[in-house]
């Protein structure tokens, strides 16, 4: 397995494989995945776009992640900003790297791939904070939650509902740069 940095063109070239990994990891139905392709393709052109991928045998995609500069006018940013108090918005979203996706295929999980992807994505952004959203879950049982807590992400917003998804989400954040990476 190897971790590689992706440019926007790499993500677009491997969009079908990335959407498949995303769907497997999130448990989303195929019709929703087709819709997500357009969003992901548009995200690849956002300022400060950064992406990584974990490749296996024959360059099979095992996981990927990406993010970019979060800004007013972007759907996710505006949804979260509208739910935060002014001082929270100022702290978390003014100079923020938005970690949009971070996924590992379920059959490849449990081998540290997500941690390597996360560390690579968060080593280098120039922003002051990083913020992400993840479905609410039992923090002791969810691999994603344990990963984010190991990386010292704290609660920004809990039990938040995004339009179009009937599951509650948590918005988590941490300050950058990563000077306190877990060993």
Token code pair at residue 16: 């079908």
Active-site pick, 22, 68, 148, 161: 148
Are 3 and 53 spatial neighbours (Cβ–Cβ below 8 Å)? yes
CA angle (130, 132, 134) in 5-degree steps: 155
What are the backbone dihedrals phi and psi of residue 126, each rounded to the nearest 5 degrees, phi first? -90, -5
Residue 28 among the catalytic residues:
no
User: What is the C-alpha end-to-end distance of the chain, expressed in Å?
Assistant: 20
- Give the orientation angle of helix 113-122 with respect to helix 143-150, to 10 degrees: 40
Known catalytic residues are: 148
């Amino acid at each position: 397995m190897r971790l590689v940095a992706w440019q926007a063109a790499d993500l677009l070239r491997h969009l079908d494989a990335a959407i498949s990994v995303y769907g497997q990891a999130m448990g989303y139905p195929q019709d929703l995945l087709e819709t997500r392709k357009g969003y992901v393709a548009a995200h690849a052109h956002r300022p400060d776009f950064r992406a990584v991928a974990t490749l296996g045998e024959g360059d099979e995609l095992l996981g990927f992640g990406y993010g970019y500069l979060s800004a007013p006018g972007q759907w996710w940013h505006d949804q979260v900003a509208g739910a935060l108090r002014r001082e929270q918005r100022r702290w978390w979203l003014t100079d923020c790297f938005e970690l949009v996706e971070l996924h590992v295929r379920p059959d490849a999980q449990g081998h540290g791939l997500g941690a390597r992807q996360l560390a690579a994505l968060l080593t280098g952004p120039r922003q002051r904070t990083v913020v992400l959203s993840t479905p609410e879950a039992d923090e002791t049982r969810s691999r994603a939650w344990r990963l984010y807590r190991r990386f010292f992400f704290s609660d920004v917003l809990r039990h938040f509902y995004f339009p179009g998804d009937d599951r509650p989400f948590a918005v988590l954040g941490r300050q950058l740069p990563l000077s306190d990476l877990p060993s």
